[in-house]
Structure 1
Amino acid sequence: MALPHNALVLVADGRKLMFLRNHGDQNQIDLRTEAHDQREDLKDHEIKSDAPGTISQSFGYGRPALDETDFHQQAEDQWAKDAAEELKKRALRHDFEALAIIAPPKTLGVLRKELHKEVERRIVLTLNKEMTDRPISAIEDLLVGEAAPPA
């Protein structure tokens, strides 16, 4: 499906997101940055407060360590949830009628679980790709390739 004029494009991953707007039409995509944000990637010692916990066993020797919480993944998931909340706010104030989402698999999975029904209704394209560090021209090329009918 072609990307209509004034469509919103969300390009996101676990630490960066961009909202782009198509100022072109369905035949000529012209993306312009509307908003962008990036979170700081914290080091382990800045996130963790302690060593992994242990539990006692009723048999055998030793004390196994509990699985450690993946704080980086939690932060990335929260970032995607925040992006879904922003999309909800924009959809409810009728900021866009068509939406394309470009995100890597994990981010896309979290986003899909969190999307409001009004946002879901407006999705015209979803791409499972990491594009946050690519120039806008590469994102436009990707969208043009996806919008083209199969040969």
Structure 2
Amino acid sequence: MQRLTNGTWVVVADGEKALFLENEGDAQYPILRVRAVETHDNPPDREQSTDKAGQLGNRAGGTGSAIEETDYHQLERDRFAQDLAERLYKMSQKGRFDRLVIVAAPQTLGVLRSELHKEVQAKIVQEIPKSLTSMPIDKIEQAVLAEMSA
């Protein structure tokens, strides 16, 4: 069982917002303080795309097949996760954290996990696949503590 010790950083993210928190308390009574907040404006897909999905014609004269429409909203969410991985790497190189807990929406966590540098991966003590960015800090503390003591 990992502990949320003093000095552990907790990054809470989804595809549009990231909270960088540091535990100033101890493992039993964490006190998460906000060190940084990063947001990314990502309008709905309908506002980012201009055309409907296309269709490929069949050269033999039969019916064509549909082309799946690009989900620009999801592409931006993935790009945000990639940028977050890069920011965590830079923070790690500067010695900002030695222990890291990542709390992220499952899809964001998947993209983030594949983009994280080995140096950052080595500092991760827990990954929590949940979306908590809209919760107040005290509720995030409770949720992280519950996950880490499970």
Same fold (TM over 0.5): yes
The answer for the alignment partner of 2:32 in structure 1 is 31
Render the CA deviation track for 1:35-79: whole Å, top value 9, x for unaligned: 112222313343113333332202344443311111111010001
CA contact (8 A) 2:105 2:131 kept: yes
* Offset, 1:3: 1.0
The answer for the alignment partner of 1:44 in structure 2 is 45
Provide the rounded CA distance (Å) in 1 between the counterparts of 2:148 and 2:39.
28
User: How many pairs align?
Assistant: 149
| Segment drifting more, 104-113 vs 50-59 | 50-59
CA contact (8 A) 2:42 2:77 kept: no
Q: Which amino acid aligns with 1:140?
A: E
Cα 1:64–1:110 change in 2 (3 A) is same
1:78 aligns to what SS in structure 2?
A: helix
User: What root-mean-square deviation, in Å, do the aligned CA atoms of Structure 1 and Structure 2 show?
Assistant: 1.6
The answer for the alignment partner of 2:122 in structure 1 is 121
Unpaired runs of at least 5, structure 1: none
Provide the rounded CA distance (Å) in 1 between the counterparts of 2:129 and 2:52.
36
Provide the rounded CA distance (Å) in 1 between the counterparts of 2:141 and 2:81.
22
Percent of aligned positions with the same letter in both sequences?
40
The answer for the alignment partner of 1:87 in structure 2 is 88
1:100 aligns to what SS in structure 2?
A: strand
2:11 aligns to what SS in structure 1?
A: strand
Where in structure 2 are the equivalents of 1:70-81 lying within 5 Å?
A: 70-81=71-82
2:55 aligns to what SS in structure 1?
A: coil
Q: 2:26 matched to 1:58?
A: no
| Segment drifting more, 45-54 vs 94-103 | 45-54
Q: Which amino acid aligns with 1:76?
A: R
| Segment drifting more, 63-72 vs 45-54 | 45-54
Q: Which amino acid aligns with 1:120?
A: Q
| Segment drifting more, 137-146 vs 71-80 | 137-146
2:58 aligns to what SS in structure 1?
A: coil
1:80 aligns to what SS in structure 2?
A: helix
